[in-house]
Each structure stands twice: as C-alpha cells, then as structure tokens.
C-alpha cells in the first residue's frame, strides 16, 4: 500500500458514501428552477470532491453511483447519466488527480530518489478541467445529433421543443432592438448553448476543486503542498493556440462550428483564470495592489462577459511571454 494513500477507516467510508448521495441530492435541487436551487446545484461536485480526495475514494464512488441509480429510478435514465457523466465523474477524476503523486521517471540515475513526491500542478489540473468541460459539451452535442440523425434535424427539433421559452426570451429583448430577426436570434441561442455549457462547466469544476483543496488542506487531510495560485497557475502553452484556432473555426457554422465554439469557450475561460492569476501575481509587490484588484473585480462584475474576454487575452499574453517568470528573474537580479 502506498504511504501517500493510507487505508480509510469505516467512519471515513461512511462520510464519503454519504457525500456521494448528498452530491446527487444537490443536483436534483436544480430541477426546482429557482435562483437558490441553481446556486446549490452549482456546488454539487464539492462534497464529492472533498469526500473522494480527503476521506475514501472508493466509498465516494459508490455513493455517486448509488445517487445516479436513485436518479434513474426516480426520474429517467438520461437524468442519472447526465448527473454522473457531467458532474460526478469529472469530480471524482479531479479528486483522484489532486491527491495522486506523479510517477517518477523510469530512466536510471545516479542521484538518490527524491523523498518528496511530485503532484500535478494547478495549471495541469486546470487543463484537465478544460478537457473535461469540452468532453461534456461535445458528448451532449454528438448524442443529440445522433439521436435526431443530423445537425439540421437536431436544430429544428430543439427549436420546436423549446419554442415557447425561446419566444418569451426573444420578446424580452425586443424593447432594446425592435427590428431584430427573432428567428436568427433563437437559432443563435440554440447554437451557442454548447459553448455556454463548456464555459460554465470550466468555471464550476475550477471553483469546486479550489474550494475542495482548501477545505481538505485546512482539515489536515491534503497529502500535498497546495501552491500559491497567483505564482503557479499557468496553463500549458498549447492551450492558447488551441483557443485561437477554435475561435476562428467557431464561425464556420454547422456541427464543426458548434463544437469549435465549445472548445473556444472552455479554453477561453481557462485562459481568463490564467490571466486573473497572472494579474494577482504581477501586482504582488505593488503599493496599490488592493486598489488595483478591487477595480479589477468591480470591472469583472460590471463588464461581464467582456471582462472575461479581456482576461483571456491577457492569459494568452502571459502564456506567450511568461510575464510572471520575467518579473521573478528581474527581482532576483536586483537582489
């Protein structure tokens, strides 16, 4: 047995199993449609992540499977599958990656092995979240297209099924622009939905993983040092080119455009988090750091979603030029 993963006792297993069921319950709350219910559902992965990473992974997995089975029994098969594939599965995978030490290089070396294990960096975890968000959105699109036998047929079916809700939403926009084409707006809303799912999933998993890591760290159950995100949250450099390519292909239209939009949304939101961390790190020694950050978060709230675009662009710049590393080197030289 690896010392980094000591066996859990029965109380830990009971807590983890109950957390899996609680996660499914929070997901069910989202069907009530109120703002509070949706907010609670947004944190449905949190108890599962804490339980899997801090108590017992097998018991948390069993609890999540039991919760999904109850959802299938109480509602429908797609409801249970949606919970497990969209929420529980990604939460369990991220919890495992959070605590699992990386394998050492198999290449022979004369140096003695390092006693401290290495773990996935925050940037690697965020890149994994982006891939999971793209997978969830893409899986939903592909499943719908396969069910309705084609992209155009899928779009027609969804517009028909969601017609009343879309009509109400479009009519609420008419006072701002009386002459817009309602049919084009409804089509745009449907086509952009997967991108919204991908961006929302990226934010959901990122926030919940950060909260889970901090909670487990405070409880003393985190078996790894949790680094400072302003200095250490940096996505792999391939993410920025992937974002730019996907953003260009998103205007192509059709199934390729929809899937590319989901990729652009997930990578763009990840780069926005990268940019936000970079701004925190770059202002670390500034006398006016509090004022800068207060203004930044005020702008994020007021100018959303354009503020996310600006942060994503800054994330691309930091990814290309390593601004935080340059600042650290210049500070070291001065010292």
Q: What is the pLDDT of residues 80-91, one digit of tens each?
A: 898 999 999 999
Rounded distance, CA 183 to CA 190, Å? 11
pLDDT at 169: 75
The mean per-residue pLDDT over the stretch 30-34 comes to 66
- Cis before 305? omega within 30: yes
**What is the chain's mean pLDDT, rounded?**
87
Per the confidence metrics, is the pTM higher than 0.85? yes
- What are the residue ranges spanned by the domains of the chain? 137-198+229-335
Sign of CA dihedral 147, 152, 154, 156: negative
Q: What is the pLDDT of residues 250-268, one digit of tens each?
A: 999 899 999 999 999 999 9
Q: What is the pLDDT of residues 144-172, one digit of tens each?
A: 999 999 999 999 999 888 878 777 777 77
The mean per-residue pLDDT over the stretch 26-31 comes to 78
Structure-block tokens of residue 24: 């499914």
Give percent of the chain with pLDDT exceeding 70.
88
Q: What is the pLDDT of residues 99-143, one digit of tens each?
A: 988 865 454 545 555 566 789 999 999 999 999 999 999 999 999
With a cut of 70, say whether residue 333 has pLDDT above it: no
Rounded distance, CA 162 to CA 164, Å? 6
Contacts of residue 73, defined as CB under 8 A and 6 or more positions apart, other chains included, come to none
DSSP assignment of 275-326 equals HHHHHHHHTTT-TTHHHHHHHHHHHHHHHTTHHHHHHHHHHHHHHHH-HHHH
pLDDT at 1: 40
């Amino acid at each position: 047995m690896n010392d980094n993963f000591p066996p859990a006792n029965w109380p830990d297993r009971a807590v983890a199993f109950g957390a899996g069921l609680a996660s499914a319950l929070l997901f069910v709350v989202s069907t009530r449609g109120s703002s509070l219910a949706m907010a609670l559902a947004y944190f449905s992965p949190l108890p599962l992540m804490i339980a899997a990473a801090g108590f017992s992974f097998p018991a948390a997995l069993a609890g999540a499977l039991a919760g999904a089975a109850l959802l299938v029994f109480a509602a429908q098969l797609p409801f249970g599958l949606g919970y497990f594939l969209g929420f529980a599965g990604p939460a369990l995978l991220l919890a495992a990656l959070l605590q699992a030490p990386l394998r050492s290089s198999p290449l022979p070396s004369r140096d003695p092995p390092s006693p401290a294990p290495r773990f996935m960096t925050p940037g690697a975890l965020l890149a994994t979240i982006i891939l999971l968000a793209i997978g969830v959105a893409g899986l939903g699109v592909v499943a719908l297209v396969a069910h309705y036998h084609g992209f155009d047929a899928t779009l027609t079916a969804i517009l028909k099924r969601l017609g009343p809700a879309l009509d109400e939403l479009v009519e609420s926009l008419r006072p701002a622009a009386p002459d817009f084409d309602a049919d084009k707006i409804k089509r745009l809303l449907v086509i952009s939905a997967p991108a919204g799912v991908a961006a929302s999933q990226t934010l959901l998993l990122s926030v919940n993983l950060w909260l889970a890591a901090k909670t487990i760290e405070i409880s003393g159950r985190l078996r790894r040092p949790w680094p400072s995100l302003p200095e250490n949250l940096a996505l792999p450099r391939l993410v920025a080119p992937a974002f730019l390519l996907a953003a260009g292909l998103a205007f192509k239209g059709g199934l390729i455009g929809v899937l590319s939009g989901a990729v652009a949304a997930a990578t763009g939101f990840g780069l926005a988090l990268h940019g936000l961390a970079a701004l925190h790190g770059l202002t670390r020694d500034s006398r006016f750091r509090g004022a800068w950050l207060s203004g930044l978060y005020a702008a994020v709230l007021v100018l959303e979603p354009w503020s996310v675009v600006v942060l994503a662009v800054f994330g691309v710049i930091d990814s290309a030029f390593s601004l935080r590393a340059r600042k650290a080197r210049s500070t070291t030289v001065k010292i």
